[in-house]
Amino acid sequence: MDISLFDYSLPEELVARHPAPERDQSRLFVIDRMSGSFTHEHFSNIGKFLRRGDLLVLNDTRVIPARLMGQRLPGGGKVETLLLKEIEPLLWQVMVKPAKKIHTGDRIVFQPKLLEGEVTGYIAPGERLMRFTCREDWWETLDKVGHTPLPPYILKGRRDDLHTDLGHTPLEESEDRVRYQTIYARVRGSVAAPTAGLHFSEGILDDLKTRGIEVAFVTLHIGAGTFKPVTTERVEDHPMHWETYHLTTEDSEKINHVRMEGHRIIPVGTTSVRTLETCADMEGFVHPASGETRLLIIPGYRFKCADALLTNFHLPRTTLLMLVCAFGGRELILRAYEEAVRERYRFYSFGDAMLIL
């Protein structure tokens, strides 16, 4: 399948640089797969499209302040480090910039007398093993020193808006630490937010509960690879990145009960879809599990455990867009994206939501 099938044109001004003033003030684009019809709504009215007994499956991963800015010793230049995966306490797989200048044995200071790192190994172009020396509790130190790992296109967009260069653009704004995080995030480990969940407020969840709509959780820690465009000509040749997931016995039993009762299972976000599909058997029942998944979902995939899907608008030529096209049908989804552009929806991580029924 050719990657060009998952391309589309988007005016740059529709890429959301900031979240909506309030979480539930985003817009909601609703697609009916049976009729092919579109409905334009506000997210606060999502309950109109859900039924008593429906189950929303939320990804409860928590974004960590994974971006660290430091200086190579002795007397070296600036180094940007992005935490990717914890190998063991204080030993991490990281992404570094400028990668060509970072070698095994290099020491980097992030906060004098508080946090330093030493490169202990080479993993891949741009990626290293780094062992940290931390004078205080690791997670408390990370909260002090680290920055919210906003997607590169948000930082670039903000830089363009300010007509400045990267060195004079803040790595995060005061609201980012809260707004680039779902209100139900609880398990630390992601370097990107499960953005479909950013729209939910306490008020929305309370309203849905009164309507008889249930909630279950999965955990999938999102890696930096989630934003990587597919560079292979054939989408089947794309090397999917590994991501860690967990599904508890309690939540799997809740999901399976809803399945047996004949109600809809509605994953919130592509990460919830991939976790459910990784844990599901051919009859659509899930089993508690932990591990790493590199499941690539493209058109032609047979979904086992998803009856509807809540998601955001995704970058062209990405595995996220392919998954949505697999669920909703490529032609219908791309037609919906064209409609969303005409209607001036906000796109990507801080953008509006799409509900596919």
Q: Return the pLDDT at 90.
A: 97
Q: Are residues 57 and 120 in the same domain?
A: no
pLDDT for res 167: 54
In this prediction, residue 126 carries a pLDDT of 92
**Residue 194 included in any domain:** yes
Q: Domain check: are 187 and 275 in the same one?
A: yes
Distance CA(3)–CA(328), nearest Å, equals 17
Whether residue 275 sits in one domain with residue 126: no
Cis peptide before 112 (omega within 30 of 0): no
CATH of the domain at 264: 3.40.1780.10
Is residue 157 situated within a structural domain? Answer: no
Q: Given this model, what pLDDT does residue 76 score? A: 81
Domain match, 240 and 331 both = yes
Report which of 91, 66, 62 is spatially closest to residue 81, judged by C-alpha positions.
Answer: 66
Cβ pair 61, 222 in contact under 8 A: yes
Residue with tokens 């995030």: 185
Does residue 120 sit in the same domain as residue 222? Answer: no
Residues 190 and 333 in one domain: yes
Separation of first and last alpha carbons in the chain? 25
Q: Tell me, yes or no, whether 171 lies in a domain.
A: no
Specify whether 55 is located in the same domain as 95: no
Question: Which range of residues forms the domain containing residue 45?
Answer: 3-63+177-356
Where the chain has pLDDT below 50, the residues are none
98 inside domain: yes
Q: Given this model, what pLDDT does residue 174 score?
A: 82
Q: Are residue 117 and residue 41 in the same domain, yes or no?
A: no
Whether residues 223 and 344 share a domain: the answer is yes
Could you tell me if 240 and 99 lie in one domain? no
Q: Is residue 166 assigned to a domain?
A: no
Which residue, of 102, 128, 145, is where some domain finishes? Answer: 145
Please write the tens of the pLDDT for every residue from 34-83.
999 999 999 999 999 999 999 999 999 999 999 999 999 877 899 999 99
CATH code at 126? 2.40.10.240
Q: Is residue 37 part of a domain?
A: yes
Listed residues 128, 145, 162: the one ending a domain: 145
Residue 153 lies in a domain: no
Judgement on whether residues 206 and 129 belong to the same structural domain of the protein: no
Would you say residue 207 lies in a domain? Answer: yes
What's the rounded Cα separation, in Å, for the pair 28 and 42? 5
How many distinct structural domains can be found in the chain? Answer: 2
Question: What are residue 81's DSSP bridge partners?
Answer: 68, 96
Q: Please check whether residues 59 and 181 belong to one and the same domain.
A: yes
